[in-house]
Structure 1
């Protein structure tokens, strides 16, 4: 077992590539977890110490958004974000336009960005629309920030697209959402669900995501950038399922081999063993064409399967770029948030099972 030095850096020498790396951490404190990255080639991987694989920064910010008559109609809202990569836009007060919240981002500390506010609406007649926007330029995100004012004085050009969902076998509870939209160079990661197949979006860009389900915890999600003036296709043509151990198997080894069916075109598989909030949960990020993983005895890290316990396990197959071990260790800290903020097309297939270890 190797531990970090005071700066949180592991130091090795003479490592051939590709290589595997397992890291133990506590998230939250006193709750040991582990992350295993396989197929790494990076000389200096930067690894967020949590099961969502993200590391975001935040500073408190106060912004007064002017322009609309307040209070806003019930169907309207004002969102604020920045031109940095952000995990999500936050809402300003509908009663007075005051934004008083953290502004969050991925990447280096203290970036200089533009702050962008957008007024959106959603009604039964016109659906989702961005009504106006405003910008405050060249703001440095740092501690002890002053207050700012943004005027919603800019029109937002729009385009339309028609959504075509091809769910394959995932025909239960199929639904579509606008996953993000871009205005004045800022990506607003904020979800809006809708039923009308034709939708208006800001001409700078948008992404859409479709979801579908089948029995026993199997699901798929497809994401694509909007095709302006055309058809945005969201297809989930493949399937994935667990193989061994059989679902609800008992007497399973504490170091079992978990297997699943491969997904054509997958670039990576993420396998989670244990529940999200449990002690000892393990996450494996595996390169394609993996179809199995041998669960390790990580007792030296305070992690491992216990006797006579039931464990859920989940496999997520990613068809698309940005989800390999090298990607999640790239230093951006985006990790699991990539599916929310990427503008690249991808499909995620997920399957679920559980087993009980022997005495």
Structure 2
């Protein structure tokens, strides 16, 4: 079935706006097109992003570049061992004039929250984000406060082996839609970085290229992307395989299935399609699933990381037939 005029127009707007945001970010982050694309995918999937890598490779710079590219409230939290949960969510303070308690919102009340070095805070403080990330609300002293849309947490963390870090609890990791590693830049990109960043930070010149209302409209467009039943079953098969392989002692949760499909919708929309194909899920399987998994003792002994296990499962799980080709294909609107 042909794409309707309204849907096609929405997709054109989405691709155009996403291109502007991507171009703005890439003016700051050189040579990381795949990382920038995944970041936009998570934003449009209404998810949260965990950026893990060694210090100095641009984790915080990426988060700041995305935040500055969109004209919306942005707050940054530097996670430290002495940070308290109330420092993130807010606190009820007594007003002597009104003789009542007033809620003082914390930095989580923003459209984009940048959590820098999240695993340097205690697990109790890390857990303060659980309700915010899953339910888009904050509960303090029995009162519940809604968070605005879009709401995205972009957290950076150093590898667990680094001194002074705490491992993220499983429940916390599971709320991040995807995890990416920046990696070291290519020599050519690093040389360009010396020229561009040598005199001043390009962040200082970065201007917003999209509004909050535009991002909300993009998210609505992504929600309308079609997912055929065979594609949904394929997502379930991928997640189920992580629960059955002997290489893992903790498989992916049902939440991960939902987030894989949501990210698949955003991935398809960024490609200009209004339907999801198996390739979308395959491209996203490792960043969306691997950080939620725990390897078995045998896999650890063989130095098989969850990323390798997921990549092997993607190759082994049967793919639906004829995706998106011709009438009745699993990627075709009916």
Tell whether the structures are fold-level matches, with TM greater than 0.5.
no
**Aligning the two structures, in what range does the TM-score lie when normalised by the shorter sequence?**
under 0.3
Bigger RCO of structures 1 and 2 (CA < 8 A, at least 6 apart): 2
Q: TM-score, normalised by structure 2?
A: 0.24
Higher strand share: 1
Q: What TM-score results when the alignment is normalised by the length of structure 1?
A: 0.23
The structure having more radius of gyration, on CA atoms, is 1
